[in-house]
Amino acid sequence: MPIRVRYQNDNTQECTVRPTPLVSISTNILKDGAGEAFGVTYGITLTGTLLVDQGTPYAIEHGGIADLRHLSTDKYPFHGTAPSAFTGPYGAFDSVISHMSNKPPKQKISTNQAATVLIQKQKALRALFAQDGQRVEITDFDEDNPAIICYPRFVSIDFTEGTYVERCEFTIQLEADTLLFGQGDDGSLVVDQEGTLITDAVQVNKTEAQLLASLSGAFINSYDETWALEIDEAAGEAVDIPYSYRISHNINATGKTHYSPGGEKLLAWEQARTFVQNRLSHNINDYPNIMGKIGNGTVNLVNSYGGFNHVRSENISESNGTYSVSENWVIASGSAYENFSTSISSSNSEAFVSVSIDGNIKGLSQITPSGFGSSETSAYDNALLKYNKITNSGQFGLTSDVFTRANNHVAVQLNSQPLTITIANNEYNGEINYSLAFNNRPTNIISGVLSEDISVSDTYPGDVFATIPVLGRKTGPVLQYVGSRTEYKRDVTINLIMDYTRIPYGSGRNPLILKKPSVIEPTASQIADLIKELSPKGEPGIRKYFVSPPSETWSPKDGSYSFSLNWTYEMDS
């Protein structure tokens, strides 16, 4: 039963290992803790012998061969007719497919060449199996019909120790997800029937794609899925239903890099992702079916509650081939439910940590089927009530739910006012979509502004000296200290961007001038207080100070405002 490897999946490079190794195939059914099968892994062990003067790979020159027939004839000549064509790594294999009547010719190897030849054969064999996903066939001896076809992953190759005079034993470990044979009606390779035992029923002539459909669409090595329910005592909702509850759902999978008969390489982490996402959506009609995961004794809870505030986070490790999803819900009675996701970003070129929240609120209609009853609220009204509740009626702040969610995701204290706000309403469907971004920028000092920038520049005294030019002096002018020092200075600049309520939408003096931040309250008083705090007036040791003419710039149509002020002051000593 010869072993044939299609080197680099090139159908012109069919390489046969001779003498034929012993073949051992083990089947490992992959099952979860509940005994449910989710996959299978085949371990293929090839145990063989390299002979110094017989078999393939042939004896090769050290470092590789460009024309093996010429070099082999000179250094390692054949008994009889040499092979007509060579293939595979280093050209160490021939292209003969039949084995019944085409035994590889012997080579003339002297005793002092034996160790070198066997080491070179080891090199060729390592190179043959160095690539994952090559087509490997276990064929019969007579007609060369492949009894088993697979596209395995290479695990290891071991050569026994020895003097390497006549022979060298080796063991090769391969790993495959499917064993294939023959061709189906459409010409595709089909999976061995015993390879379908992990599905509900054994099927004849089942392709690999059909098998994948029974495995949540992916080949994985392991997975784990857990559900947990806990009381949230701090989130009571009503007198008769005093508590809300939290449900968490975690599912993670480790995939297997798989090579399909078509030559496609399916990465391990992508396999894990496909499996997890398919498992998440296998009950798509009623997902998330969290109520079906709650144990006995909770009938009243199940009948009274629904799942809201769905948060999902994903974690991918490409190097480990893993993919995981963590989900959380608040299950509670109410007239609207909400799903949202969060993301955190930071950069060494940005001073602040940013947290983004994208959410969807869908209201539940309280209007009767007849449509009558003006006191009843629509789905959109309930969605709006929910939005106003979680955003503090659009004012946000420390007590708003959305800020608390964002702030709980990071170790720093975020600014309670969003950096950006995007709202989309769909009254017909009763939905509100929002996208918010928070960061940990300092809280604004001036009210009614979107952003503020304050810069303080202090100039300290330096020497006062005279520069006296001297004709013909090669070292330049004479510097003469005059026994004095320069003055202390402080420059303050305040830049503000006002929100839309402070921007004039008319023309004329009012509101273009009379809505200037230094005129209206409370902004004017806040600016005055800020300048007072930044001035050198109250600092210890200052005898007197003088104020240079202030500079104020106001752009009423875009809400930008700046104020610049300079002090010159004198110290006691």
- Report pLDDT for 159: 94
Strand order across the 153-159 sheet: 22-31, 37-51, 167-176, 153-159
Q: Are 480 and 468 in contact (CB under 8 A)?
A: yes
- Identify the bridge partners of residue 226 per DSSP, sorted by sequence position: 250
CATH of segment(s) 449-571: 2.40.30
pLDDT the model gives residue 77: 78
How far apart CA 511 and CA 307 sit, in angstroms, is 50
Q: For residue 413, with 0-12 CB atoms within 10 Å meaning exposed, 13-18 middle and 19 or more buried, which class applies?
A: exposed
In the block, tokens 């000593």 appear at 573
Question: What's the pLDDT at 108?
Answer: 86
In the prediction, which pLDDT does 206 show?
65
pLDDT given at position 372:
43
Predicted TM-score of the model (pTM): 0.53
pLDDT at 370: 44
Cis peptide, bond prior to residue 522, ω within 30 of zero: yes
H/E/C letters for each residue in 406-447? HHHCCCCCCCCCCCEEEEEEECCCCEEEEEEEEECCCCCCCC
Which parts of the chain have pLDDT scores under 50?
62-73, 196-197, 200-202, 234-242, 283-289, 296-299, 368-374
Give pLDDT, residue 446: 87
Q: Roughly how many angstroms between the first and final C-alpha of the chain, as a whole number?
A: 102
pLDDT for the residue numbered 445: 87
CA nearest to 335, candidates 381, 394, 373, 368: 381
DSSP 378: P
User: According to the model, what pLDDT value does residue 291 have?
Assistant: 54
Domain boundaries, the chain: 3-177, 219-334, 341-443, 449-571
Residue 395's pLDDT is what? 86
pLDDT value, residue 212: 66
